[in-house]
Amino acid sequence: MTVIDPICKMKVEESNAKYVSEHEGNKFYFCSSGCKAKFDKDPHRYGH
């Protein structure tokens, strides 16, 4: 399944995603470590 990176809005293939974070029971997938790090600093800003 293709999902959207919540930071940069790129499409990410869920099954191949190297960068994943969990927030309030939901998984978020990222195209890069930079996007993941930005999300992890303030997940409430991007995770809703």
Cα separation, 40 vs 32, in Å, equals 12
Question: In 10 A of CB 41, how many CB atoms?
Answer: 9
Q: What is the mean pLDDT of residues 6-20?
A: 96
Tell me the domain boundaries of the chain.
Answer: 2-46
DSSP bridge partners of 30: 19
**pTM here?**
0.90
Residue pair 39/30 in contact (Cβ under 8 Å)? The answer is yes
- Per residue in 28-46, pLDDT (tens digit) is 999 999 999 999 999 999 8
Residue 3 CA to residue 14 CA, distance in Å, equals: 6
Give me the count of residues in the chain.
48
